[in-house]
């Protein structure tokens, strides 16, 4: 007797949802059939039956597949419940140990409609003796009939490929998908085509291997040798796994692709959020018994349990690195060298990691590239330049004064250096005021100050239009004649002046408000080095004309040495002062030869 029925949902809409929205790959039907088979075997074991569990997949010549399991099978009422009322399941309702199941029967079976126009299911329940056939079609109709011939306890699903999905029914493709999803399942999985038979899953999962075996496995699987392996475990999440440290640097923006299994069935090989965002430098392979999958079973529900587990796995990585720093400092330093950018970002975000890594992180200083441990040993007072431009202005001079200045202009360096005192209590960090830097130099005597004052007055008068004021100090190195210091505020102020001159009246008035009402007018500093013979000769010359040209040349040369952008007026000033001295030298040479 055959019974014709209809699904109690809009089945075509469900199939469209599955194919276009829920599942990322049509090959997911392999996972769903495997999952149903494994769950059925689990259910039969809970009934206390003794049997040799297995799932057998067979490929036929007309692009037809069969999936057979010797699990608990289905009764007629269960068929109606599972396959007519999508979303309900007596596995959840009637068995106490629902957590032993990978997923839920029903919607998963319907994934077959993505690749096939008909599903045929032959089943016999371990609870009753009837052998049943269920046939379902995408139009929402299905039939159930009792078979005259008795079949073995379990379930066999037959599907025939739609023309556009025949690739997914080829031997190589089926084998690839079976291995991908079921490689680590405890239930034996067999694949048969004609007389050729193959066992799919004989591998030990990497989370059950010792370290040497896991390293060898990952080297073969990823075509590169990991730097190290970090064990992962979470009691609350039922997680076992490994995180392997990548042997090459990765971009901070690169999406992570952790491989995650649910009860030994692959859930996703592209999961990016199971480990904390700061763990840029590792890839994870792990298995969980407790996290709850989403409807597509390609990721986990992001609930409180999920976030607790992620934090716990992050703590695994932290504690391992802490121990590694003592156990194998050479390896620890190699890891830092390879993943320097990632580790800097990580240390900024996490105080524990900051304490671990900061002694080993290197910075550009007035003494060259040094790690923080070396910096702290040689200098307890550190000046921190906020920008690369500020650092370049004073790096050479700072070293000559025995001052430790660190360049905070690179990504994360400013934040990392500024909090050094929280870990190294003997060190003080002061953010550098670049315009006040020259005030640290040795001042002139009263007599020397009287000697240079006319020169300084002339310099201030000439450089007023360039927003620059002058002073004279003794400092090293003696071969550096002048030091020009500016900051971001002054650079912005100059930019507003240029914008005001070029803008239309309305925009120009807005710029004027910004410039004059929101900012106190700043000035750059041009510090003449009284230790430099040329500066002293210029001051002592007493010739206002020569002094004027010297000041103009000192100023423009300081801009050049500091890599500062020069305006058209400043370029003109430099050219005129150079030509003046060239002419002066040529005249003197002519007089000597005349």
Both ends of the chain: CA-CA distance in Å? 130
Tokens of 336: 């830092």
DSSP at 427: -
- 154: alpha, beta or left, given left = phi > 0 and alpha = psi -120 to 50? left
Scan for tokens 């475990």, then name that residue: 233
**Chain length of the chain:** 594
Q: Which residues contact 97 (CB under 8 A, 6 or more apart)?
A: 46
36 annotated as belonging to a binding site for a ligand: yes
Sheet strands side by side (includes 404-407): 368-371, 362-365, 404-407, 381-385, 428-431
> Number of C-alpha atoms within 13 angstroms, CB side, residue 273?
9
Q: Is 71 helix (H, G, I), strand (E, B) or coil?
A: coil
Q: Tell me whether strands 55-60 and 64-69 are parallel, antiparallel or unpaired.
A: antiparallel
CA distances from 62 to 112, 178, 398 (A): 17, 20, 81
Measured distance CA(467)–CA(452) in Å, rounded: 21
Short-list 388, 372, 398, CA closest to 483: 398
Contact yes or no for 197/189 (Cβ under 8 A): no
Query: Residue for token digits 């038979």?
Result: 197
What are the distances in angstroms from CA 449 to CA 77, 143, 479?
105, 107, 21
Is the Cβ–Cβ distance between 70 and 53 less than 8 Å? yes
Number of helices followed by number of strands (H, E) in the chain: 20, 22
Whether the Cβ atoms of residue 292 and residue 301 lie closer than 8 Å to each other:
yes
296 burial via Cβ count (<10 Å: 0-12, 13-18, 19+): middle
Distance of alpha carbon 279 from alpha carbon 318, whole angstroms: 10
Q: Quick one: which H or E segment has residue 370?
A: strand 368-371
Contact 174, 60 (CB under 8 A): no
Both tokens of 327, joined, read 């156990």
Which residue in this structure is represented by tokens 């007519």?
84
Residue 465 CB-half CA count within 13 A: 7
Residue 479 assigned ligand-binding role: no
Record the tokens describing residue 588, joined without a space. 């003197």
Helix, coil or strand: residue 518: coil
Binding positions are 32, 36, 69, 155
Binding positions for ATP are 32, 36, 69, 155
């Amino acid at each position: 007797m055959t019974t014709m029925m209809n699904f109690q949902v809009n089945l075509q809409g469900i199939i469209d949802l599955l194919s276009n929205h829920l599942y990322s790959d049509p090959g997911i039907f392999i996972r769903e059939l495997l999952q149903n088979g494994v769950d059925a075997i689990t259910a039969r074991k809970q009934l206390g039956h003794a049997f040799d569990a297995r799932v057998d997949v067979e490929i036929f010549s007309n692009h037809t597949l069969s999936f057979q399991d010797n699990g608990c099978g289905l009764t007629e009422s269960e068929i109606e419940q599972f396959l007519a009322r999508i979303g309900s399941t007596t596995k959840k309702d009637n068995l106490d140990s629902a957590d032993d199941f990978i997923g839920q029967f029903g919607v998963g079976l319907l994934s077959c409609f993505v690749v096939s126009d008909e599903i045929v299911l032959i089943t016999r329940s371990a609870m009753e003796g009837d052998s049943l056939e269920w046939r379902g079609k995408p139009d929402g109709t299905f039939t159930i009939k009792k078979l005259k011939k008795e079949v073995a306890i379990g379930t066999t699903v037959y599907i025939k490929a739609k023309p556009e999905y025949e690739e997914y029914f080829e031997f190589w493709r089926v084998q690839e998908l079976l291995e991908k999803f079921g490689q680590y399942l405890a239930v034996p999985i067999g694949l048969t085509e004609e007389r050729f038979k193959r066992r799919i899953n004989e591998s030990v999962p990497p989370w059950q291997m010792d370290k040497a075996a896991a390293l060898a496995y990952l080297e073969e699987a990823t075509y590169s040798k990991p730097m190290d392996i970090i064990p992962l475990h979470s009691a609350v999440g039922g997680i076992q796994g490994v995180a392997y440290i990548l042997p090459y640097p990765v971009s901070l923006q690169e999406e992570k692709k952790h491989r995650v299994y649910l009860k030994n069935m692959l859930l996703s090989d592209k999961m990016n959020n199971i480990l904390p965002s700061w763990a840029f430098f590792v890839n994870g392979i792990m298995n969980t018994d407790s996290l709850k999958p989403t409807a597509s079973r390609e990721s986990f529900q992001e609930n409180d349990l999920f976030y607790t587990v992620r934090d716990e796995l992050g703590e695994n990585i932290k504690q391992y690195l802490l121990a590694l720093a003592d156990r194998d400092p050479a390896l620890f330093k190699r890891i830092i060298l390879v993943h320097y950018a990632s580790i800097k970002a990580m240390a900024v975000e996490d105080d524990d990691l900051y304490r671990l890594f900061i002694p080993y992180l290197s910075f550009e200083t007035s003494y060259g590239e040094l790690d923080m441990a070396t910096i702290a040993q040689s200098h307890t007072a550190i000046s921190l330049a906020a920008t690369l431009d500020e650092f370049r202005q004073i790096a050479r001079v700072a070293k000559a004064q025995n001052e430790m200045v660190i360049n905070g202009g690179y990504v994360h360096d400013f934040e990392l250096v500024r909090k050094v005192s929280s870990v190294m209590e003997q060190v003080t960090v002061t953010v550098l005021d670049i315009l006040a830097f020259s005030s640290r130099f040795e001042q002139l005597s009263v007599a020397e100050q009287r000697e240079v004052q006319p020169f300084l007055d002339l310099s201030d008068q000439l450089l007023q239009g360039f927003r620059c004021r002058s002073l004279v100090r003794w400092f090293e190195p003696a071969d550096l004649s002048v030091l020009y210091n500016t900051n971001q505020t002054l650079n912005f102020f100059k930019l507003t002046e240029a914008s005001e001159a070029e803008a239309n009246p309305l925009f120009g008035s807005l710029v004027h408000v910004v410039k004059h009402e929101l900012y106190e007018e700043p000035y750059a500093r041009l510090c003449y080095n009284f230790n430099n013979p040329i500066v002293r000769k210029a001051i002592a010359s007493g010739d206002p004309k020569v002094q004027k040209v010297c000041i103009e040349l000192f100023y423009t040369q300081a801009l050049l040495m500091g890599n500062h952008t020069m305006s058209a007026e400043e370029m003109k000033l430099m050219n005129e002062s150079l030509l003046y001295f060239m002419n002066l030298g040529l005249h003197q040479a002519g007089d000597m030869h005349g």
